[in-house]
Structure 1
Amino acid sequence: MIKALVFGGNGQLGRSLMLCARDFPDIELTFLDRRKCDLSDLGAIGRAILDCRPDIVINAAAYTAVDQAESDIEQAFLINRDAVRAMAQACEELNAPLIHFSTDYIFDGTSQHPYRENDPVAPLGVYGTSKLAGEDAVRAATARHLIFRTSWVYSPFGKNFVKTMLSLMVQRDVLTIVNDQTGCPTSSVDLAGAVLRLVPSVLEKTFAGFGTYHLVSGSPMTWFDFAIHIHRAAVERFGADWAGNECEIRPVSSDAFPTVAKRPGYSVMSSQKFTDTFGFGLPDLAESLGACLDQLGEGENNA
């Protein structure tokens, strides 16, 4: 039995790992949330890892309040850099691999092609800068790491664009959605399944795939496009009587919704390196979004 320790048990990715765990009976997952291990207590992180002595550590935790980070700089760096460094150092001491997640926000959004792993990084704000610092901390502390950069994460859990849109479509006759930011909507359930699928091979002595990878869906689109996809999928699954059926979705410029932190206008990332290395990729948006809506429809999270 493989022992995996997961930080961030209550987040989208953590809860997605719980959901997917039933399909991987040979991996015993232990989840730590803020109550069990406060990531602002750096000493507690190392103790938790050394006490558990896992075969592998998965960091599904992060400070993700993009706008708030602009004024909460110290906390953003504490969670996204310092806590991650503590994890990596403890993993190195145990010789246990670390799987860590990063973000498209490490790029400035000026690329003319999907970002690859070796493209120059230039974060626009505190959140992206703190996540990049976390990547660097992992690389400096342990060679046995996998860093997965992902983007526009959604799931049946917590707060995310899909759940927000479903709720607003029910409440309003018209929605205006930004149409000048482009990225790759990615299911955290897909991410969780991919990670758990990789764990056994990562623990093999001959594994040579450590490093940094982009891991996103292969469906680039704007937020407006994504909202259209969500509406169509919801009507298909929830039926013509669904209360959001008649909601009209209109495109607008991001200037209509000013934010404290600047977002990259183009953050499409290529997962080709991941696919070439591991031999598989994530499902397409239609399949993943449909599965997400099915899960919402079956439980209390149905918007």
Structure 2
Amino acid sequence: MKVLVTGSNGQVGTCLVKQLSEIANVSFWAVDRTELDITDEKAVKNSVKRYSPDVIINAAAYTAVDKAEAEVKLSYLVNREGARYLAEAANDIGATILHISTDYVFAGDKDGMYDENDSVRPQGVYGQSKLEGEVEVAKACPRHIILRTAWVFSEYGNNFVKTMLRLADNRDSLGIVADQFGGPTYAGDIAKALIYIANKSVNRGSVSYGIYHFSGLPHVSWYEFAKAVFDKAKEQCLLRKEIIVSPINTEDYPTLAKRPANSTLDTKKINSQFGIQPSNWLFALNNLSEYK
């Protein structure tokens, strides 16, 4: 199996590179923005044609949720046009594209978990650009898997867990939003799921293409997530001092872009089709020294 990975320096991209390098009979080409700008249509088409992968995994995205409100053009260039160019290139050579999307395609006001058939209604530029990217990918390449996920964290890049550990070194107390709920998702588990699906897709008849949700359980608030991080850090003797964590409301922590109050994703479909279990995010916090 030949795999092209975009966004190789991101959280999921880094995990993909690490895991793919450990698999026999798999060759891959992992690129970051400097090696392949996915917003350059000609470069994308030429590179994909030259490498001729069986599967493209698009882990590249514009993910700065607040900055997207000002950098609208760039958000759409990466999240919509870039995704479309990759999907078109995949279709040209008969490849499959696996594309990562987000909980931000939903309004976040549903009572209960979001499944793949729920109505989408993004509340900001980031969510809208990702939604339009989904639409373009689906139109351009029938052999597509769109994987929506949420609250991604890992040892790499910038994320909530690393921020909490950094703040714990400098603060005695923190106020964390307690009225937004979701499923923290370890990037290594996303990579594992994508590689499993990629392998299945090489055997054309065994994959039901379309949209899937993949995230972690149990569902928690950001406040509960932070508490779990600090509890695990304490168990691992990584906290230099006790830190007081207090619950606050969304309105107490204003941001440029509106966050979904409910980011809980129903993962029954991916379990039914592929046997993939939700991300075990609590287990992923057992090696917090690597997040420092």
Q: Same fold (TM over 0.5)?
A: yes
Say whether the 8 Å CA contact 2:173–2:243 is kept in structure 1: yes
Give, in whole Å, the separation in 1 of the partners of 2:56 and 2:45.
11
Give, in whole Å, the separation in 2 of the partners of 1:18 and 1:142.
24
Q: Give, in angstroms, the shift of residue 244 of structure 1.
A: 4.0
Say whether the 8 Å CA contact 1:170–1:247 is kept in structure 2: no
Aligned to 2:227: 228
**Number of residue-to-residue matches in the alignment:** 292
Matches within 5 A, 1:142-291: 142-237=141-236, 239=237, 242-291=238-287
Q: TM-score, normalised by structure 2?
A: 0.97
Say whether the 8 Å CA contact 1:24–1:196 is kept in structure 2: no
**Structure 1 alignment gaps of length 5 or more:** none
Give, in whole Å, the separation in 2 of the partners of 1:244 and 1:98.
45
Relative to structure 1, the CA distance from residue 246 to residue 72 in structure 2 (aligned partners, 3 Å threshold; closer, same or farther) is same
Give, in whole Å, the separation in 2 of the partners of 1:128 and 1:145.
20
Give, in whole Å, the separation in 2 of the partners of 1:225 and 1:95.
45
Q: TM-score, normalised by structure 1?
A: 0.93
Q: Give, in angstroms, the shift of residue 202 of structure 1.
A: 1.1
Q: What is the SS of the residue equivalent to 2:3? A: strand
Of all paired residues, the percent bearing the same amino acid is 38
Say whether the 8 Å CA contact 1:148–1:212 is kept in structure 2: yes
Aligned to 2:38: 39
Matches within 5 A, 1:3-42: 3-42=2-41
Say whether the 8 Å CA contact 2:104–2:260 is kept in structure 1: yes
Relative to structure 1, the CA distance from residue 280 to residue 243 in structure 2 (aligned partners, 3 Å threshold; closer, same or farther) is closer
One-letter amino acid matched to 2:250: S
One-letter amino acid matched to 1:188: A
Which digits, 9 at most, give the CA deviation of each residue in 1:34-57, with x for residues without a partner?
111122322211111111111110
Matches within 5 A, 1:95-174: 95-174=94-173
**Structure 2 alignment gaps of length 5 or more:** none
Q: Give, in angstroms, the shift of residue 102 of structure 1.
A: 0.3
Give, in whole Å, the separation in 1 of the partners of 2:207 and 2:191.
21
Relative to structure 1, the CA distance from residue 290 to residue 125 in structure 2 (aligned partners, 3 Å threshold; closer, same or farther) is same
Give, in whole Å, the separation in 2 of the partners of 1:161 and 1:13.
15
Q: Give, in angstroms, the shift of residue 217 of structure 1.
A: 0.9
One-letter amino acid matched to 1:185: P
Q: What is the SS of the residue equivalent to 2:263? A: coil
Which digits, 9 at most, give the CA deviation of each residue in 1:115-141, with x for residues without a partner?
000000000001000000000001111
Q: Give, in angstroms, the shift of residue 26 of structure 1.
A: 2.4
Q: Give, in angstroms, the shift of residue 289 of structure 1.
A: 2.1
Q: Give, in angstroms, the shift of residue 68 of structure 1.
A: 0.9
Say whether the 8 Å CA contact 1:4–1:56 is kept in structure 2: yes
Say whether the 8 Å CA contact 1:45–1:87 is kept in structure 2: yes
Say whether the 8 Å CA contact 1:57–1:99 is kept in structure 2: yes
Say whether the 8 Å CA contact 1:235–1:245 is kept in structure 2: no
One-letter amino acid matched to 2:3: A
Say whether the 8 Å CA contact 1:194–1:282 is kept in structure 2: no
Give, in whole Å, the separation in 2 of the partners of 1:22 and 1:76.
30
After superposition, the CA RMSD in angstroms is 1.2
Give, in whole Å, the separation in 1 of the partners of 2:280 and 2:11.
19
Q: What is the SS of the residue equivalent to 2:277? A: coil
Say whether the 8 Å CA contact 1:233–1:290 is kept in structure 2: yes
